[in-house]
Amino acid sequence: MTFYPLSLTARLATLFSLLVAGLLLLLGLWLEHLIRGHFDEIDHMELTAKLNMIENLLDRVDSPAALNTLPRYLDDLLTSHATLSVSIRDEEQRILYAYQPEFLEPVKNGDVDSASTRWSVAGYEFIGHEVQKRLPLPQPIPVHVLLGLDITHHAHFLEDTRRYLWTGIAIAALLTALLGWLVARQGLAPLKRITAAARRLSAERLGERLDLQATPPEMVELANAFNGMLNRLEADFQRLSEFSADIAHELRTPVSNLLTETQVALSRPRSTEEYQDALHSNLEELERLARMIADMLFLAKTDHGLLPNPAEPVHLEEEVTALLEFYDALAEEKQVKMQLSGTATVTGDHLMLRRAIANLVSNAVRHTPPDGRIEITITHDQDMARLWVRNPGETIPADQLPKLFDRFHRADNIRNHHGEGAGLGLPITRSIVKAHGGDVTVRSQNGITTFCLTLPLSGTQRTSSEV
């Protein structure tokens, strides 16, 4: 058997109606108790008052003549009280006086308790009380006085009140359930708008946003979070679309070159040397293609947090020194000088950090004019280490600086592109630095371009700096 969960509207309406019905039930029980207690108090007061009047008459029976006149006085007393029943008996159960005794039969027969009790007879409800008295005759005579009071009209009133009360509570509970459903439906309308907006979302409609002006204050935070999610989705989708287009564009060039070289080589018979030259050319394009694919895979791992995260100390000056030795021949060929100063130790993966720094150094060597000087400076404070790479060259416009870290972006109009890369070096550098808890920035002014890597210091380096 399958059970389907209730909707949020149904749950709220049900809980609200149950709560109100419970409160109405408690209120009804309390009112019924108050009304019943009030009538019980009135009935017992009336019963006690009549019993006191009868006892006062009995206290005056001090002679046989008074005893003979007792029935007349009691008749005069009780004639106008049709709701009363009285029975006076002596020790031998002889009736000295009786008024509507048929209503006292259950007590006389012992069917009910005789002291302050209730009983029913012939469709009537009674309460009664029995006391023992002594007639003050010359010779005191013990008597039993049984008094009953008809409370049928009160019982009928209570029954009608109970019926009307519970009928009203039932109707109020139903109306409350309906009202609760309407209120819950209206209160959850913003959620329906969010749901409708989510249904309208598609690759072509990522611009949907919730109207905060029409959103209740309690749901503004949810609406802001939803709009923020849509903003991120739109930005990520836009970046993914651009990335896909860039990938297609970048892969098309080497593939087209390979295809062209192969078609030319196969267009006519050629010598072994010509075939070797064609294969060498294809090999270069394949290597370029392999590097591009490896870089894209690296960036994909970075986006998904799949990069290794070793916590080994990395001495920045040692890594930079090794890189300067590697690029020394290229720098000498271009008549570019390189200079290193400063030291700092960070925690991370030295191969990944070396790759990030290498991208900056190779970029500086590539774009520094002859007789230029590349300055690499390492500084640190209490918490962060900074590696500065400065090189002369053409000034990069301010609007181009944020785009330098975009994938496949090349400032071709600013720097001469020689075909060494696919525009993934700086994005890889940023991804590596971000994975190490740092950041990378760039500025270009007055013919000097400066990249700055910021990385958290290692614990040992931080402790020694503080000392």
The answer on pLDDT for 301 being more than 90 is no
- Where is pLDDT greater, at 218 or 353? 353
pLDDT in tens, 320-352: 999 999 988 888 888 899 999 999 999 888 888
Percent of the chain scoring above 90 in pLDDT? 12
Mean pLDDT within 108-119: 60
Helix axes 64-78, 8-59, angle to 10 degrees: 150
pLDDT in tens, 369-399: 998 999 999 998 878 899 999 999 888 888 8
Measure the CA–CA gap between 381 and 139, rounded to whole angstroms: 121
Q: Please tell me whether residue 201 adopts helix, strand or coil conformation.
A: coil
Ramachandran angles phi, psi of 134, nearest 5°: -125, 125
pTM for this prediction = 0.49
Measure the CA–CA gap between 149 and 46, rounded to whole angstroms: 8
First to last CA, the chain: 72
- Where is pLDDT greater, at 375 or 83? 375
The answer on pLDDT for 271 being more than 90 is no
The domains located in the chain, with CATH, are 8-174 (3.30.450), 217-303 (1.10.287), 312-466 (3.30.565.10)
The winner for highest mean pLDDT among 27-36, 103-112, 230-239, 424-433 is 27-36
Helix axes 425-435, 350-367, angle to 10 degrees: 150
pLDDT score recorded for residue 317: 93
The answer on pLDDT for 269 being more than 50 is yes
pLDDT score recorded for residue 208: 74
DSSP code at position 140: -
pLDDT score recorded for residue 417: 40
Mean pLDDT within 183-210: 76
User: Which residues are CB-neighbours of 230 under 8 A, at least 6 positions away?
Assistant: 201, 206, 208, 209
Q: How confident is the model at residue 413 (pLDDT cuts 50, 70, 90)?
A: very low
Contacts 24+ apart (CB under 8 A), 218-223: 219/190, 219/191, 222/194, 223/190, 223/194
CB 143 within 8 A of CB 102: no
